Structure 1
Amino acid sequence: MVLRSCWKSRHKNSSGPALRWIRSGLAALLWLCVTQFTCGSGAVGETKNVVQKDAEFDVTYNDTVTSENQTIYAFNHTVSRNKTEGVRVSVDVLSQGESPTLFVVRQKQAVLSFQVPLILRGLYQRKYPYNHVGRTLCQPPTRAASETQHFFVDVSTLSSLGTNYQLRVSRVESFTLQTDKKFSFTASPSQPQYFKYVFPDGVDTVIVKVNSDMNFPCSVMSVQDIQCPVYDLDNNVAFIGMYQTMTKKGAITVQRKDFPSNSFYVVVVVKTEDEACGGPLRFYPLRPDELIDAGNRTKVLDVVVSPAIDLKVYVMGMLFCLGIFLSFYLLTLLVACLQNRRIKKREVFQNPADMSPAETGKTPASPYEYGSFADNGSTLSSEAITDSATSTDNNYGYMERSLESVGRSRQESLSSVEEDDYDTLDDINSDKNIVRTKKYLCVSDLARKDKRVLSKKYQIYFWNIATIAVFYALPVIQLVITYQTVVNVTGNQDICFYNFLCAHPLGALSAFNNILSNMGYVMLGLLFLLIVLKRDIVHSRALERNDLNALECGIPKHFGLFYAMGTALMMEGLLSACYHVCPNYTNFQFDTSFMYMIAGLCMLKLYQKRHPDINASAYTAYACLAAVIFFSVLGVVFGKGNTAFWIVFSVIHILATLLLSTQLYYMGRWRLDSGVLRRMVYIIYTDSIRQCSGPMYIDRMVLLVMGNIVNWSLAAYGLIEKPNDFASYLLAIAICNLLLYFAFYIIMKLRSGERIQCLALVCILFTAVVWGFALYFFFQGLSTWQKTPAESREHNRDCILLSFFDDHDIWHFLSSIAMFGSFLVLLTMDDDLDTVQRDKIFVF
């Protein structure tokens, strides 16, 4: 009528057939629109019988709808600005026609529509029908203190046979959640639930915890802003807000700043399938339109909202973390002062060069007496034969000065000569074969190369790892920032595997406490570098003043590997912090790469102590470590249950163990070339068959046999069990080999008559205890990316230290301290040999 009056007012003077035709068309169009609006889903031109009923809350309406009639239920309720009440619509279809029934809820600012049976889709577009549907109506905000709002429920269908249904509209009790008060409810895929929470005064952050005693069915918890519509179905719950899948546990930390209305909805949806939570896959439907019986997927849950920690706890956590590691700086400074004071007292009362045998622990030898294992009747080194043949008591002073001048001129002449050029001389190779194949070796036999050349060789370790750290860390930082941005923008809490019950956000970071706890690696790594630097400076000054102990006594001092170890410890802290920005299976190598490097560098340092001339070069060592990291990535990506991968890896592991064992047994004089098989057969024939002689190097053989037993056992375990966490399995191999070699070193050191000084002994005992506690907290397993995010959250636990740090944070604290202690053990373990001549120090 309005359109017709407007048309007449503008065209009252117009006439003609064309105008009349246009007017007739507009009238027909207007009639069609009105018919469609009033008839709902009726056919064009079909007149429906529309019945409107005044309805009441908490009354069940049992009615029938057909294609010829439409029923409208009118409800009204009073809405208060200071009180929020939930309204829930429940529908149950008792008899279904050939077409679904459509329910449309018209509110003041929103429209909610759904059909029954409700068809929800799962993986591969599988369809699950639900005849019982319950939906909660969103509550638009009101500005008035109190007002009456009306809403209507329209019921219609295209089925000519008719559909019998039940409709019930009721108020939701406890729609508004109370702080620290648990509320239990029931949900299913067709009956989602959501509740409102309002931030109380003085609370800026809360933790929403949803728990259930049932693993399955899989469900989703979501936190959404107060708005209409509310996305509360499996196919749209991820459209807005923050969400995460859950089985038994779910937790989301919510900050007031993210919700301008100072309130939010907690939405819980039960999924149609369990694949997202690690459940079994259902069968694939034979026909695309096949409907699958979903079965009983009702789940009982409870929700509680608790205030999170305040700023005071953040400050206490940071001060605690800083105070622990600064105390190590103070303790180190105190120990250094005590040692300097003791050294000064010793210099006053006694010259270190004239120490008695009881004080040195060894019988000092004169420069022309090169010792060996006297009890075993070992042969003398080539230097011993030459020196003893040419030295006399009368010209001893002359010979000492001449040897010193010759050594100095030789060092100057070789200052620019590379080690490889020096080693490729034929006479040097011949000398190597003579010296290194002796039955008993002393450190002097394997410390024959020029000190300046070796110093440059081992400094490459530091510069290479520093270069690796820069080029490794920059893309890592960029990637984890991207991960965190994606989590914050999408709200998908399944991307990162946190301990959500103890994940304290700060700024854009979701779990600041897991990042802060890695401070110990950086601070203690820097402290270790400072300790090494002090020792390096002291040793350099001793060399400058031609100190006899520095030149001819003790284990040769090369600090390049120590610098590399300290740098690796600092990088482990940085990359572990980057990993914990968003821990998941795609960036696991950030947390483990430098662990492999630390284990490898420690083994190299142990070997270098007694074999300074034949230790691996930095390029070879880092190439091998790169291969380990490469296999670690392959194992995580392809190793889960892949028998072919485990066979290949086990074969490579065993072959590498055999190759390394042979190289160590023959002191680097064994060559891998075309004649290796012929030499192996010859050795087996001559040593085992013809003479039945035992191994020439007993101690080395014992170590290598034990090492092969351990590594072959680990390879067999991996091949049989196929552990899911390949990265930890590979790290366990490295740690087992390191511990085996370290134990062998300690045993052989004591067996050779050497002693462990008090400082080193304290470091060993302290480190062993700390490692024990650290491993205990490591194996608590608060989260794991080997499982689905929902299964990982089953292991989540509350904070246990200062309400800020969890078990994994304590692992960070203790493991950083234990690594620092392990480095100190390597640094101080052979301090008892600083006044013992190198031809009296045995190689093992």
Structure 2
Amino acid sequence: GFSHLDLKLSCSLPSVDAVRVYVNSSSENLQYPVLFVVRQQKGVLSWQVPLIFRGLYQRTYNYQEVSRTLCPSEPTPETGPSDQIIFVDVASMAPFNIAYELLVTRLENFQLETNKAFNFTASPSQPQYFLYKFPQDVDSVIIKVVSDAVYPCSVVSVQDIVCPVYDLDHNVEFNGVYQSMTKQAAITVQRKDFPGEQFFVVFVIKPEDYACGGNVNRTWNLQRTKNLQVTIVPSIKKSIYVQAMFFSFLSFLSFYLGSVVVAFVTDMKLTVPFGSVFFAGSGIMTSSHPITASTPEGSSYGAIDESSSSGGRQLSSPGCGLPAGSDTDSSVEEESDFDTMPEIESDKNVIRTKVFLYLSDLSRKDRRIVSKKYKIYFWNIITIAVFYALPVIQLVITYQTVVNVTGNQDICYYNFLCAHPLGVLSAFNNILSNVGHMLLGFLFLLIVLRRDILHRRAMEMKDVYTLDYGIPKHFGLFYAMGIALMMEGVLSACYHVCPNYSNFQFDTSFMYMIAGLCMLKLYQTRHPDINASAYSAYASFAVVICLAVLGVVFGKNDMWFWVIFSMIHVLASLALSTQIYYMGRFKIDLGIFRRAAMVLYTDCIQQCSRPMYMDRMVLLIVGNLVNWSFAIFGLVYRPRDFASYILGIFICNLLLYLAFYIIMKLRSSEKLLPIPLFCIVATAVVWASALYFFFQTLSSWEETPAESREKNRPCILLGFFDDHDVWHFLSAAALFFSFLVLLTLDDDLDTVRRDKIPVF
């Protein structure tokens, strides 16, 4: 049969008329549905009853009750109050009569108001949408939607004033921006994106919940109604953006001021006598007594001898040493081109197996060659940074473009309650907060450069204290650490352009490298001749990054991955421990297991002798226990955030080694000067504060976008930065202080002969 209804509605300024049509039919015959067609001045809307929704695996859901809001018409000042006519056609091809119910009502609360909460109910067959107009003094608003119930899954969409309005599950993504939602959602809308300075807020309930993380196989009741509350609040003003940028830059520029003050005070102190050492006004260091070659009691074996003809550098008097400018001589050969210690090749294996090693035993290579070896770290990391960053930047620009073009805000895992857009960027605050890594990384490079220049000048002046006293100064690893800190800021900013499952490694890759470089630098301090080469170190970092990617892809459900990874972790710990214990003289090849078994049998079973190197043994036993505990934990619990799991392994090993180093330093009657002591305390305090904010999880790409938004929280700093931004600020400062600890930790040894500095 066919029915036709004519409805005539009058509207008056300045209200906006919205009409809602409710229909109900008792017929469940899918072969002969009842068809409803509503014709208006600007469009046609149609649907059928039963209304059919198709879900996953071709499941169908039929609804007998349907309620739709018609596209509203707004009278203009030119035409004044007018009448609008609506035609409703009802038809069915059924050979029998079908009863239906039709109800047309005018909506009284169709226009949303600023800062006023509005409650309503929606279901898959009864979507809702409302109108919002920008007030005169508001350029940006945040639409906040909350619900007490997690399910049913829903979608919130913001659409321009265009008819028809896309308010069904299969078409809500066709227009505007949208988010899936469980308990809360938030969308920031800017006036400039809507020429008419008004928009629709559309609410659609999905027939299934798998898009929001629900159980795919669960059978749902068709009564899928959801109570929602929507509140539209003004977003921050432009002045807040300016304040936030000033705060970010001034906070870290204060570190520059502090560094200048410390450098000035230090230079002032160096102009007064210190023992037998003086700094003249010209900056030349002289000594009142020549250095003798006497060695400490009980350490004559392997100590440096002035009369030695070996390739190791001799203790020098002010009249002898490297020629001026020789450190930067481009004619210096690469270490790999020839053996730098030809005469002592026969006895270096014996020297390194001494029970009590001194720094002079492990700094026998030509200083120029070793310096060039460590500068490779700096040049390699610049190359890595360029080749890594360029495709990353290109990719995240593509991600942001896709988000802006499609309107799909489920692609990126922001904290939507504190995501402040600027230009094409959706969350400018998360990007701005990474400025600290770049500014402090550059400052650290300047501090290292200053030390490097002063060291070069002292070398040119043949200063004996620079040549033969204190820790050998090699700055290549420090430069690499500064570049890594800056790149961490760049790549973290890139990651936060669009945080998601596909680009998580952008934010963590250089964290692994920073932790690894810090451990290498700490080891290099007292083992300058036997530290790892740049090529093997960066190759190891590449393996770690590959494992991190594989762990995120396969680590969630694959037990075999965790078994293999745990085996690799344990074997790598044992191999590295062996290298450290035997000072690099334990050859790693196919025969390593046979030799290790032989050593274990002779030292532990046959005679059970006390370990020859007790301090190293204690460190390595504790280190292996920590790493084996990590391996067992991963195998048993299989943590979902594999990237953070690996980073935790690196950080724990670094902290363990640093604690061991400081304890051994104090055991050896060495001192902690005020500056490194301050840096150690500052590092501990700032890291503790930073980690507190790091664990305030605001989003998680391991879950669905809707589940991730349940963790979203408002801003906590200046109304612009959230907890994760504060983590960025504090972690940058903490890394900077950590680097300063490594840079200044052994400054107290600058007037101690190297054959009196113990190795540990």
When normalised by structure 2's length, the TM-score is: 0.95
Aligned to 1:130: 63
Distance in structure 1 (CA, Å) of the matches to 2:124 and 2:686: 49
1:509 CA displacement = 0.5
- Distance of aligned partners of 1:414 and 1:478 in 2 relative to their CA distance in 1, 3 Å threshold: closer
Q: Deviations over 1:789-821 (max 9, x none)?
A: 000000000001110000000000000000000
Specify which of 666, 676, 681 is matched with residue 750 of structure 1: 666
User: Does residue 799 of the first structure (1) align with residue 715 of the second (2)?
Assistant: yes
Which amino acid in 2 is paired with 1:383? Answer: I
1:547 equivalent in alignment to 2:463 = yes
475, 479, 490: which one pairs with 1:563? 479
Q: What's the CA shift string for 1:352-399, capped at 9, x where partnerless?
A: 279xxxxxxxxx99632222xx6xx566215359669xxxxxxxxx99
What amino acid sits opposite 2:614 in the alignment?
I
Q: d(CA) in 1 for partners of 2:211 and 2:65? A: 24
Counterpart of 1:380 in structure 2 is 301
1:145 is the counterpart of 2:80: yes
1:96 to 1:121, Cα distance in 2 relative to 1, 3 A: closer
User: What does 1:191-340 correspond to in 2, within 5 Å?
Assistant: 191-282=126-217, 294-340=221-267
Residue 597 of structure 1: which of 488, 513, 516 is its match? 513
| 1:95 CA drift (Å) | 3.7
Q: 2:353 aligns with which of 431, 437, 441?
A: 437
CA distance in 1, matches of 2:559, 2:348: 44
Alignment-mate amino acid for residue 232 of structure 1: D
Aligned to 1:369: 294
Could you say which residue in structure 2 is the equivalent of 1:4? Answer: none
Residues 378-527 of structure 1 mapped to structure 2, 5 A cutoff: 380-381=301-302, 383-384=304-305, 404=320, 416-423=332-339, 427-527=343-443
| Residues 180 and 304, structure 1, Cα contact 8 Å, conserved in 2 | yes
Of residues 78, 94, 109, the one that matches 2:26 is 94
* Corresponding residue SS for 2:304: helix
* CA distance 1:640–1:401, change in 2 (3 Å): closer
8 Å contact kept, 1:646–1:722 = yes
Partners in 2 of 1:508 and 1:673 — Cα distance?
A: 54
Quote the Cα distance in structure 2 between the aligned partners of 1:158 and 1:629: 64
Q: Which amino acid aligns with 2:743?
A: L
**Structure 1's 437 and 403: CA in aligned 2 closer, same or farther, altered over 3 A?**
farther
Distance in 2 of aligned mates of 1:764 and 1:473: 32
- Alpha-carbon separation, structure 2, partners of 1:684 and 1:667: 18
The 5 A counterparts of 1:577-656 are 577-656=493-572
Partner of 1:352: 277
Q: Which residue of 2 aligns with 1:659?
A: 575
Matched, 1:117 2:54: no
Cα offset for 1:407? 9.5
How far apart are residue 403 of structure 1 and its match? Answer: 9.3
Q: Write the letter of the residue equivalent to 1:690.
A: Q
- The corresponding residue for 1:165 is 100
Letter in 1 for 2:277: P
SS at structure 2 position matched to 1:186 = strand
Could you tell me which amino acid in structure 2 is paired with residue 119 of structure 1? I
- Is the CA contact (8 Å cut-off) linking 1:107 and 1:151 kept in structure 2? yes
Kept in 2: contact 1:243–1:492 (CA 8 A): yes
- 2:451 maps to amino acid: R
- Relative to 1, partners in 2 of residues 1:262 and 1:429: Cα closer, same or farther, differing over 3 Å? same
Q: State the partner residue of 1:59.
A: none
Select which of 115, 119, 122 maps to 1:180.
Answer: 115
Aligned length: 745
- Equivalent in the alignment of 1:722: 638
Asked if structure 1 preserves the Cα contact closer than 8 Å seen for 2:304 and 2:755, the reply is no
Amino acid paired to 2:35:
L
Letter aligned with residue 184 of structure 1: N
Report the AA paired with residue 367 of structure 1. T
Q: Who wins on radius of gyration, i.e. which is larger?
A: 1
Is the 1:443–1:843 contact (alpha carbons within 8 Å) kept by the matching residues of 2? yes
| Corresponding residue number in structure 1 for 2:730 | 814
Which of 591, 598, 605 is residue 689 of structure 1 equivalent to? 605
The residue type paired with residue 485 of structure 1 is T
Shift of 1:167: 1.1
Secondary structure in 2 aligned to 1:345?
A: coil
Cα distance in 1 for partners of 2:23, 2:693 equals 51
State the one-letter code of the partner of 1:125: Q
- Residues 659 and 561 (structure 1), Cα distance of their counterparts in 2 relative to 1, 3 Å cut: same
**Alpha-carbon deviation of 1:411?**
9.0
CA distance in 2, matches of 1:333, 1:450: 34
2:740 paired residue number = 824
Cα 1:414–1:386 shift into 2, 3 Å = farther
Matches within 5 A, 1:694-773: 694-773=610-689
C-alpha deviation, 1:171, in angstroms: 1.5
CA distance in 2, matches of 1:484, 1:506: 12
Counterpart amino acid of residue 352 in structure 1: V
Aligned amino acid, residue 818 of structure 1: A
More helix per residue: 1
Q: 1:212/1:685 Cα in 2 relative to 1: closer, same or farther (>3 Å)?
A: same
Q: 1:405 to 1:785 in 2, by over 3 A?
A: closer
**C-alpha spacing 1:129/1:750, structure 2 compared with 1 (3 Å):** same
Q: Which residue of 2 aligns with 1:73?
A: 5
CA distance in 2, matches of 1:319, 1:459: 36
- 1:719-756: per-residue Cα shift (whole Å, max 9, x none)? 11111111111111110110110110111100111010
Contact 1:103–1:154 under 8 Å retained in 2? yes
Structure 2 CA distance for aligned equivalents of residues 606 and 668 of structure 1: 16
Give the AA of the match of 1:370: T
1-side partners of 2:732 and 2:147: how far apart?
37
Would you say the 8 A contact 1:415–1:452 is kept in 2?
no
What CA distance in whole angstroms lies between the structure 1 residues aligned with 2:544 and 2:337?
Answer: 30
Q: How far 1:346 sits from its partner (Å)?
A: 3.1
Q: Which runs of 5+ in 2 are unaligned?
A: 280-288
Structure 1, unaligned runs of 5 or more: 1-68, 284-291, 355-363, 389-397
SS at match of 1:430: coil
Which residue identity does 1:467 align to in structure 2?
T
- Please name the residue that 1:24 is paired with: none
Q: State whether residues 365 and 837 of structure 1, in contact with CA within 8 Å, keep that contact through their aligned partners in structure 2.
A: no
Measured in 2, the distance between the counterparts of 1:462 and 1:412 equals 15
One-letter amino acid of the structure 2 residue matched with residue 115 of structure 1: Q
Counterpart contact for 1:199–1:262, Cα < 8 Å: yes
The verdict on how the C-alpha distance between 1:636 and 1:405 changes in structure 2, with shifts beyond 3 A counting, is closer
Q: Deviations over 1:464-505 (max 9, x none)?
A: 000111111111111111111000000000000000000000
**1:777 aligned onto 2:675:** no
Alpha carbons of 1:400 and 1:709: their partners in 2 closer, same or farther (altered >3 Å)? closer
Equivalent in 270, 277, 285 of residue 343 of structure 1: 270
Shift of 1:109: 1.2
Return the offset for 1:822. 0.4
- Cα distance in structure 1, aligned partners of 2:633 and 2:590: 33
> What SS does the aligned partner of 1:333 have?
helix
What's the CA shift for 1:684?
2.2
Distance 1:223 1:301 in 2: 16
CA contact (8 A) 1:207 1:251 kept: yes
The alpha carbon displacement at 1:674 in A equals 3.7
What amino acid is the match of 2:125? S
The whole-number CA distance in structure 2 between the counterparts of 1:402 and 1:514 is: 55
> What is the Cα deviation at residue 427 of structure 1?
4.6
Per the TM alignment, residue 681 of structure 1 is displaced from its structure 2 partner at its CA by 2.9
Change (3 A) 1:70 1:409: closer
Q: Distance in 2 between matches of 1:543 and 1:138?
A: 82
